[in-house]
Amino acid sequence: MSMMSAAQTRTDEKNYIFDPKKFNLWLAIIGSAMLFAALTSAYIVRRAEGNWNAFLIPQQFIYSTVIVILSSITMQWAYFAAKRDEIIQLKVALFSTLILGVGFGISQFMGYKVLVDNNLFFSGDDVASSFFYAITGFHFLHLFGGWIALIRATHKAFKLEIHKKSMRTITMAATYWHFMGLLWIYLYLFLFLNR
């Protein structure tokens, strides 16, 4: 240890093929995708067995889809802004992503409210609505992770810790956010086409 200095460690790190932490995030995304692959497969298998009360997906979930697309655009804007060292743009973009992210959550929640008003509950013998709540609910849990990543990135942006030479936080937040958005679009289309 005595011979190994911090500088030594850094030269070792330069040999990494990919940044290990970003790579870990990609692997986590693969794992998460497998969870949703399992749930949507289970949905198809169960639906094929009949006894299935199809229902119309409330409009609010379309709003969610639009919001999530917009938020991905602002997220990407934040990423580019950081790359160009445009710190003010970065802050604005991150902040609007955060607001859109919260908006997505509210929109989802209002969608659930419409479902409940129509007597479509998570619990009970109607498995179609149970699946809907379970699948979208697991996605909602992923949103929390996205919020935390965004809040951290925003916090760092305000401390001027994100710029073109320090991109890891924003890259990881953007990667995760885009994944969450794509996942939602997939889930929405899946639930819409297989209802």
Partner 1 sequence: MANATHSAELHHDAHDHHHEESFIRKYVFSMDHKMISKQFLITGIIMGVIGMVMSLLFRLQLAWPDEHFGFLHTLLGKWAPDGKLDPNFYLSLITIHGTIMVFYVLTAGLSGTFSNLLIPLQVGARDMASPFMNMLSYWFFFCSSVVLLASLFLETGPASGGWTIYPPLSALPEAIPGSGAGMTLWLVAIILFIASSLLGGINYISTILNMRTKGMSMNRMPLTIWAFFFTAVLGLLAFPVLLGGGLLLIFDRSFGTSFYLSDIWVNGAGALNNTGGSPILFQHLFWFLGHPEVYIILMPALGITSEVIATNARKPIFGYTAMIISLLGIAFLSFLVWGHHMFITGMNPFLGEIFMVITLIIAVPSAVKTFNYLATLWKGNIQFTPGMLFAIGLVSLFISGGLTGIFLGNATLDINLHDTYFVVAHFHLVMGSAAIFGMLAGIYHWFPRMYGRYMNNTLGYIHFWLTFASAYLVFFPMHFMGIAGVPRRYYQFTVLPEFGVWMDVNVLITIAAIVGGLAQVLFLWNFFHSIFRGKKSPQNPWRSNTLEWTAPVERIHGNWPGEIPTVYRWPYDYSRPDSEEDFIPQNVPDEGQTVEPAPKKAPAKPKHEEVPASEGEDGPTVSFAALRKLFGFAR
Residues that bind partner 1 (CB under 8 A): 1-6, 8-9, 12, 15-21, 23-24, 27-28, 30-32, 34-35, 37-39, 41-42, 45-46, 49-52, 122-127, 130-131, 134, 138, 152, 168-169, 172
Minimal distance in Å, beta carbon 9 to partner 1?
A: 5
Distance, CA of 21 to CA of 170 (rounded, Å): 13
Minimal distance in Å, beta carbon 98 to partner 1?
A: 18
Minimal distance in Å, beta carbon 37 to partner 1?
A: 8
Instruction: Identify which of residues 63 and 147 has a Cβ nearer to partner 1 in the complex.
Output: 147
Distances in whole angstroms, Cα of residue 39 to Cα of each of 2, 30, 111, 126, 139: 52, 14, 20, 17, 11
Burial zone of 35 (CB within 10 Å; 0-12 exposed, 13-18 middle, 19+ buried): exposed
Instruction: Identify which of residues 63 and 133 has a Cβ nearer to partner 1 in the complex.
Output: 133
Minimal distance in Å, beta carbon 73 to partner 1?
A: 25
Instruction: Identify which of residues 70 and 134 has a Cβ nearer to partner 1 in the complex.
Output: 134
Minimal distance in Å, beta carbon 125 to partner 1?
A: 4
DSSP secondary structure string, 178-194? HHHHHHHHHHHHHHHHT
Distance, CA of 109 to CA of 132 (rounded, Å): 13
Selection from 107, 98, 21 nearest residue 63 by Cα: 107
Instruction: Identify which of residues 106 and 182 has a Cβ nearer to partner 1 in the complex.
Output: 182
Instruction: Identify which of residues 1 and 193 has a Cβ nearer to partner 1 in the complex.
Output: 1
Using DSSP's 3-state secondary structure scheme, residue 163 falls into strand
